[in-house]
Chains A and B, each alone.
Chain A
Amino acid sequence: MYTEKVMDHFTNPRNVGEIADANGIGEVGNAKCGDIMRIYLKVDDKDIIQDVKFKTFGCGAAIATSSMVTEMVKGKSLTEALEISNQAVAEALGGLPPVKMHCSNLAADALHEAIKDYMEKKGK
C-alpha cells in the first residue's frame, strides 16, 4: 500500500531528533487523531535553514512525510520552505494512499508552524 520511497523514509528516517538550540519549533496534530509531528529548525541570519530535525508519533505515512519534508528544506531559504505544501511532500514520496492524505500528511504544516514560531521570536 505504500510506495518504495515511503517505506525507505519510514525504515531509515532522515533527521530524527531534536535541536537543542533550535530557533523555531512547530507542532501539529494530536494524539487523539493518532498523529503528532514536531519540527525543530535552526535558521541562520540570512533566513536559511541550516538544520532541521523532527519527532513524530504516527503511522508509516506520518513518519515518512516528516522525514521527507526535513530533507526537502535543509539548506533552503524560509521563502522557499513556505512554498512547500503537504501535497508536494506526498508527491515527493511518490504518493500516499488516499486514506492517509488527510490525517497523516501534515509535515508541511508542522514546518510552517516552526517557521511561524521563528518569525515570531525574531519579531518579524
Chain B
Amino acid sequence: MKRIYFDHSATTPVDREAAALALEYMTDKFGNASSIHSFGRESRKAVDAAREQVAALLGATPNEIFFTSGGTEGDNLAIKGVAFANRKKGNHIITSAIEHHAILHTCEYLEKQGYEVTYLPVDEYGMVRIEDLKKAITDKTILISIMFANNEVGTLQPVKEIGRIAREKGIYFHTDAVQAAGNYPIDVNELNIDLLTLSGHKFHAPKGIGALYIRRGVKVDEIQHGGGHERNMRAGTENVPGIAGLGKAAEIAKRDMEKKTARLRSMRDRIIREITEKIPHIKLNGHPTERMPGNVNFSFLYVEGESLLLNLDLKGIAASSGSACTSGSLDPSHVLLAMGMTHEVAHGSLRVTLGRDNTDEDVDYFLEVLPEIISRLRAMSPLFGAGGTARAGNPCSECQAHSH
C-alpha cells in the first residue's frame, strides 16, 4: 500500500546527505572532538563547520550556538539557565499557556523553587496578545519565553514585537523555535531574539541533536555539569555525528527555504480550501494566515480524533490529533483548550503537517479518502443527524480519571 507521511511536526526523515555525513563521523572519523591528535582534530573541524552552518540559518554568529540533545534540553537550559543566573535581578518569568511541555513543566518546576510564572492566555487563533504581555511585565520579570510557532495549530506568534518589548524593558526573550527553525525564515537580530531553541529532527537532521542560540552577553547558568564542552555551557562529549548531520541539514534548509515554504504553503492552502468546500460541520484551528507553511489543523464535529487517525492509517496516511486518546492522557490537547475550544470539538481535531517530500498526488489522495472516512464515522456517531442530541446533564462526575 502507498504510504503518505503527513506528520512532519512530529518528526522528519533524515536527509540522505546529512545521514551520510553523520555515518562518516561514526565510522571513519570517530575521534573525540576534545582530543588533541589528528582523529580529534578532524572531529573538531566538523563541529566547528556545523556551528557555522547553524549560525547561518539563524543569522547568528557561531560562538552564539551551543549544541544540545534536542528541543527539550534546549528549553530546559534556556529557562532554568536564565532563571538561575539572573535570580538576583528578579524571579518572574512570562510564558504562554500553549507552550510545549518542555517549557511548561520546566516553568512549573521553577515555581516550586520560588519563581513566579505568568502563563499568558491566547486568542481563538492561538496567538498571544501583546496587550496581555505588556500588562504581565513587572520589575521582577527576567525572562519572556514565547514559542515561535505552535506545534499543534501552527500559529506564528508576534515574535518580533515581543522581542522589541523585551529589549525595551531589559528582559531576556527566549523563543522555542522547534517547529519553525529550518522550516521558516528566522533572523535572530531582526526579530530581537536573545535565546532560541531548535531541534534537528524537525528539519531532516537526526534525532538527539539540537542547538540553543544564546545572544552574546546573555547570562545563562549551565544546568549539566562535567567537562568544559560547549564553552562550559553544556558538559558532555560532543555528539559529533549528530552535530555534523545537523549542520548539513541547516545548510540545506537555508538553501531551500524560499522554495520549500512556497510549495508547502500552496499545498496547505489547497487542503484548507478543499476540505472547507467538501466537508460540512468543520472548524479550521489556528490562524487563517499567520500559520506555519506546512500546518493544517481542522476539527471535524461529531467525530473523535483517534478513530479518524486509525482510519487514515488504514488508508496509508499518517497524521496526528489533539484528541485525548492520542495524547496518552485523558484530556484533549492543552493548546486547543487554551484557544477556548470545547472538549467535544478538541476531541475531533486532525493535524496534517506537510513536508518537502509530499507531492500534489499525496494531497489528491488525502482529499479523496478523507470525506468518506468522515461520513462513515459520522454515520456511526450518536451526536450526528436525526436524534443526534447528546444528552445534556450527563456529567463526567463518575469519571475519576479526570479528577487529576
Chain B residues whose C-beta falls within 8 Å of the C-beta of A63 in the assembled complex: 307, 380
B residues engaging A (CB < 8 A)? 302-307, 310, 314, 323-325, 328, 330, 332, 342-344, 347, 379-384, 387, 390-391, 394-396, 399-402
Chain A residues whose C-beta falls within 8 Å of the C-beta of B328 in the assembled complex: 99
Q: Which of A32, A57, A103 contacts B302 (CB 8 A)?
A: A57
Interface string of A50-72 (1 = CB under 8 A from B): 00000111111111000000000
Q: How far is it, in angstroms, between the C-alpha of A56 and the C-alpha of B323 when the chains are bound? A: 16
- Do B382 and A34 touch across chains, with their CB atoms under 8 A apart? no
Shortest Cβ distance from B396 into chain A, in angstroms? 5
- Do B381 and A56 touch across chains, with their CB atoms under 8 A apart? yes
Chain B residues whose C-beta falls within 8 Å of the C-beta of A117 in the assembled complex: none
Interface string of A18-42 (1 = CB under 8 A from B): 1000000001011111111110000
- Do B399 and A31 touch across chains, with their CB atoms under 8 A apart? no
Q: How far is it, in angstroms, between the C-alpha of A38 and the C-alpha of B306 when the chains are bound? A: 19
Q: How far is it, in angstroms, between the C-alpha of A32 and the C-alpha of B391 when the chains are bound? A: 12
Chain B residues whose C-beta falls within 8 Å of the C-beta of A7 in the assembled complex: 310
Evaluate whether A33 and B380 lie within 8 angstroms (CB atoms) in the complex, with A10-B310, A58-B307, A59-B307 already known. Answer: no
- Do B310 and A55 touch across chains, with their CB atoms under 8 A apart? no
Chain A residues whose C-beta falls within 8 Å of the C-beta of B381 in the assembled complex: 55-57
Chain B residues whose C-beta falls within 8 Å of the C-beta of A122 in the assembled complex: none
Chain A residues whose C-beta falls within 8 Å of the C-beta of B395 in the assembled complex: 30
Evaluate whether A34 and B383 lie within 8 angstroms (CB atoms) in the complex, with A10-B310, A57-B302 already known. Answer: no
- Do A102 and B401 touch across chains, with their CB atoms under 8 A apart? yes
User: A78 in the interface, Cβ–Cβ < 8 Å?
Assistant: no
- Do A34 and B310 touch across chains, with their CB atoms under 8 A apart? no
Evaluate whether A34 and B325 lie within 8 angstroms (CB atoms) in the complex, with A16-B380, A59-B306, A59-B307 already known. Answer: yes
A residues engaging B (CB < 8 A)? 7, 10-11, 13, 16, 18, 27, 29-38, 55-63, 99-100, 102-104
Q: How far is it, in angstroms, between the C-alpha of A53 and the C-alpha of B306 when the chains are bound? A: 22
Chain A residues whose C-beta falls within 8 Å of the C-beta of B325 in the assembled complex: 34, 58-61, 100, 103-104
- Do B304 and A30 touch across chains, with their CB atoms under 8 A apart? no
Shortest Cβ distance from A122 into chain B, in angstroms? 22
Q: How far is it, in angstroms, between the C-alpha of A40 and the C-alpha of B395 when the chains are bound? A: 21
Shortest Cβ distance from B348 into chain A, in angstroms? 9
* In the complex, residue of chain A having the shortest beta-carbon distance to the beta carbon of B391: A27
Additional A-B contact list (7), CB under 8 Å, known A58-B304, A103-B324:
A10-B310, A31-B347, A33-B402, A57-B381, A57-B383, A58-B325, A99-B330
Chain B residues whose C-beta falls within 8 Å of the C-beta of A36 in the assembled complex: 382-383, 390
Chain B residues whose C-beta falls within 8 Å of the C-beta of A59 in the assembled complex: 304-307, 323, 325
Chain A residues whose C-beta falls within 8 Å of the C-beta of B306 in the assembled complex: 59-60
- Do B399 and A60 touch across chains, with their CB atoms under 8 A apart? no
Chain B residues whose C-beta falls within 8 Å of the C-beta of A16 in the assembled complex: 379-380
Most buried by B among A31, A55, A56, A61: A31
Chain A residues whose C-beta falls within 8 Å of the C-beta of B400 in the assembled complex: 102
- Do A31 and B379 touch across chains, with their CB atoms under 8 A apart? no
* In the complex, residue of chain A having the shortest beta-carbon distance to the beta carbon of B402: A33
* In the complex, residue of chain B having the shortest beta-carbon distance to the beta carbon of A28: B394
Chain A residues whose C-beta falls within 8 Å of the C-beta of B342 in the assembled complex: 32
Q: How far is it, in angstroms, between the C-alpha of A33 and the C-alpha of B403 when the chains are bound? A: 12
- Do A34 and B304 touch across chains, with their CB atoms under 8 A apart? yes
- Do B332 and A30 touch across chains, with their CB atoms under 8 A apart? no
Evaluate whether A11 and B390 lie within 8 angstroms (CB atoms) in the complex, with A31-B383, A55-B382, A99-B328 already known. Answer: no
- Do A34 and B380 touch across chains, with their CB atoms under 8 A apart? no
Q: How far is it, in angstroms, between the C-alpha of A11 and the C-alpha of B310 when the chains are bound? A: 9
Q: Which of A18, A32, A37 contacts B396 (CB 8 A)?
A: A32
Q: How far is it, in angstroms, between the C-alpha of A100 and the C-alpha of B399 when the chains are bound? A: 13
Chain B residues whose C-beta falls within 8 Å of the C-beta of A33 in the assembled complex: 324, 330, 343, 396, 399, 402
Which 7 A-B residue pairs are closest in the complex by CB-CB distance? A59-B306, A59-B325, A55-B382, A31-B344, A32-B343, A38-B382, A34-B347
Chain B residues whose C-beta falls within 8 Å of the C-beta of A55 in the assembled complex: 380-382
Q: How far is it, in angstroms, between the C-alpha of A21 and the C-alpha of B387 when the chains are bound? A: 14
- Do A34 and B401 touch across chains, with their CB atoms under 8 A apart? no
25 contacts between A and B (CB under 8 A): A7-B310, A30-B391, A30-B396, A31-B347, A31-B383, A32-B344, A33-B324, A33-B396, A33-B402, A34-B325, A34-B343, A36-B382, A36-B390, A55-B381, A56-B382, A57-B302, A58-B307, A59-B304, A61-B325, A63-B380, A99-B330, A100-B325, A102-B399, A102-B401, A103-B325
Shortest Cβ distance from B368 into chain A, in angstroms? 19
- Do A56 and B347 touch across chains, with their CB atoms under 8 A apart? no
Chain A residues whose C-beta falls within 8 Å of the C-beta of B379 in the assembled complex: 16
Q: How far is it, in angstroms, between the C-alpha of A59 and the C-alpha of B347 when the chains are bound? A: 9
- Do B401 and A103 touch across chains, with their CB atoms under 8 A apart? yes
